[in-house]
Chain A
Amino acid sequence: EAGVTQFPSHSVIEKGQTVTLRCDPISGHDNLYWYRRVMGKEIKFLLHFVKESKQDESGMPNNRFLAERTGGTYSTLKVQPAELEDSGVYFCASSQDRTYGYTFGSGTRLTVV
């Protein structure tokens, strides 16, 4: 089966611009998660979708971040406007149910300059 796919793999944008990250989960996986790692720090939870519904968005840093999951398939994470502190690696993961582990994508490295 295909894994979790994220694109772009890298993105460099200027402060104030908008960037949209995309995640395609494993087919049939209802649960989709977004995480972020800021350089040198821990990987932090952003939010969790169950199908198209936001189950938990407690980790979203502020209202410049907007996540969607249209039709319960792929998900997008938009940052608008981007700030320097948004730089980091954004990981997406999916799972079939609320099991004890899930499959991560290779991440999108976002650099805001």
Chain B
Amino acid sequence: AQSVAQPEDQVNVAEGNPLTVKCTYSVSGNPYLFWYVQYPNRGLQFLLKYITGDNLVKGSYGFEAEFNKSQTSFHLKKPSALVSDSALYFCAVRDTGGGNKLTFGTGTQLKVEL
């Protein structure tokens, strides 16, 4: 069975600084990986996905993620954080059994301060 780990419950970063939210995964076969964000009182919003191809994936709001097969990681990054990026971020991997269900990590709360 697949699994996702987000080792940090919270990440604090100053506005303007680069941010990284970590994610590692375990899956048999080729991974389909996703990042979602949840702003306060909002639903989950899709940020980006990795299916195949370039290891650096660009997504919404200036975010990008780097797929690293040898380290089984898919860290979310942004070169310059904004206060408005403060939210709850979830990493997910798609089921490889032919269905389309996602296995999520526990989430990382990102706090960007002035």
Chain A contacts to B: CB under 8 angstroms: 3-4, 6, 31, 33, 35, 37, 40-45, 48, 55-56, 59, 91, 93, 95, 98-107
Whole-angstrom distance between the Cβ of B37 and the nearest chain A Cβ: 11
Residues of A within 8 A of B104 (CB): 35, 42-44
**Stretch of B13-21, B38-46, B65-73, B75-83 on the interface side:** B38-46
Whole-angstrom distance between the Cβ of B51 and the nearest chain A Cβ: 6
Known interface pairs A40-B106, A98-B100; 13 further A-B residue pairs with C-beta atoms within 8 A, sorted by A's residue number: A35-B102, A42-B4, A42-B107, A43-B107, A56-B99, A59-B101, A91-B43, A100-B32, A101-B34, A101-B49, A103-B46, A106-B41, A106-B42
Q: How far is the CA of A47 from the CA of B46 in the complex (A)?
A: 20
Determine if B101 and A100 form an interchain contact, defined as CB atoms under 8 angstroms apart. no
Residues of B within 8 A of A31 (CB): 100
Determine if B100 and A48 form an interchain contact, defined as CB atoms under 8 angstroms apart. yes
Whole-angstrom distance between the Cβ of A46 and the nearest chain B Cβ: 9
Chain B contacts to A: CB under 8 angstroms: 4, 32, 34, 36, 41-46, 49, 51, 90, 92, 94, 99-107
Whole-angstrom distance between the Cβ of A41 and the nearest chain B Cβ: 6
Determine if A4 and B106 form an interchain contact, defined as CB atoms under 8 angstroms apart. no
A-B contact pairs, 17 of them (CB 8 A): A6-B43, A33-B100, A37-B107, A41-B106, A42-B4, A42-B103, A42-B107, A43-B44, A44-B104, A56-B99, A95-B100, A100-B34, A100-B100, A101-B34, A106-B41, A107-B43, A107-B44
Determine if A104 and B36 form an interchain contact, defined as CB atoms under 8 angstroms apart. yes
Residues of B within 8 A of A59 (CB): 101
Within the complex, which residue of B41, B43, B99 is in contact with A104, where a contact is CB–CB below 8 Å?
A: B43
Q: How far is the CA of A73 from the CA of B79 in the complex (A)?
A: 42
Q: How far is the CA of A107 from the CA of B38 in the complex (A)?
A: 11
Determine if A48 and B106 form an interchain contact, defined as CB atoms under 8 angstroms apart. no
CB nearest neighbor in A for B42: A106
Q: How far is the CA of A73 from the CA of B90 in the complex (A)?
A: 28
Q: How far is the CA of A106 from the CA of B61 in the complex (A)?
A: 19
